[in-house]
């Protein structure tokens, strides 16, 4: 998502992660938890921010498919956080979404091309997000992380050289943790 401009209506605190994690980040901390996909207008905003507005139409069926994919990804990252590998339920869920589409390759006049084909149009965004998750797994499952701040539920892909990034955003969650440690030292 690096070359996509976020929709100015997008209220999420972390935008621009790879598509799979960007989908996970449609929920963020709050009381109750904020959920961009709670309504169709949020789905439209997410499609726009993800650069998919021209490929996916806003429909309740597409929103339902995307929510299903998000829940599948939630289970997958929870497995990675707790055991370091995907459990059978997560694998079955990911494969269930992937069964709705495929990548078709062809050789055209300009060289090789790839096209995503889905069995029903409403599965395109969900399929793309889960396919992106597979790409992240190939790059290193250990780099898919949840923010270390106890009040944050956002996820990011750690691209730091040493793989030690801890915060979704240092300017927010990292500084909160530093301030809490400093305040705790002063009170002790």
Give the distance from CA 97 to its chain's centroid: 15
pLDDT at 186: 57
Structure confidence at residue 1 (pLDDT): 44
Q: Are strands 144-146 and 111-118 parallel, antiparallel or unpaired?
A: unpaired
Report how far residue 5's alpha carbon sits from residue 38's, in angstroms, rounded to the nearest whole number.
22
Please, are residues 170 and 154 in contact by the beta-carbon 8 Å criterion? Answer: no
Residue 182's pLDDT is 46
- pLDDT value for 179: 56
CA terminus-to-terminus distance, the chain: 45
Average pLDDT for runs of 10 along the chain of length 188: 79 95 97 95 97 94 97 98 96 98 95 96 98 97 94 94 88 62 56
Q: What superfamily would CATH give domain 19-144?
A: Jann2411-like domain (1.10.3300.10)
The pLDDT score that the predictor gives to residue 173 is 85
- As a whole number of angstroms, the distance between CA 167 and CA 174 comes to 6
Name the residue ranges covered by the structural domains of the chain: 19-144
Tokens of 128: 């793309």
Q: To the nearest 10°, report the CA torsion of 149, 152, 158, 159.
A: -100
Which helix (H) or strand (E) is 185 found in, with range?
Answer: helix 175-187
């Amino acid at each position: 998502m690096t070359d996509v401009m976020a929709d100015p209506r997008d209220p999420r605190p972390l935008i621009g992660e790879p598509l799979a994690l960007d989908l996970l980040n449609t929920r963020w901390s709050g009381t109750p938890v904020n959920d961009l996909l709670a309504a169709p207008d949020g789905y439209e905003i997410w499609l726009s921010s993800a650069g998919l507005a021209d490929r996916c139409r806003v429909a309740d069926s597409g929103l339902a498919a995307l929510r299903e994919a998000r829940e599948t990804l939630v289970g997958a990252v929870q497995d990675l956080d707790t055991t370091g590998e995907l459990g059978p339920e997560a694998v079955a869920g990911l494969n269930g979404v992937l069964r709705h589409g495929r990548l078709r390759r062809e050789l055209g006049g300009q060289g090789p091309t790839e096209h995503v084909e889905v069995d029903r149009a409403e599965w395109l965004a969900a399929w793309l997000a889960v396919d992106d998750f597979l790409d992240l797994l190939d790059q290193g499952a250990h780099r898919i992380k949840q923010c270390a701040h106890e009040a944050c539920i956002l996820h990011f892909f750690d691209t730091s050289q040493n793989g030690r990034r801890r915060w979704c955003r240092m300017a927010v969650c990292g500084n909160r943790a530093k301030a809490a440690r400093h305040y705790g030292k002063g009170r002790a």
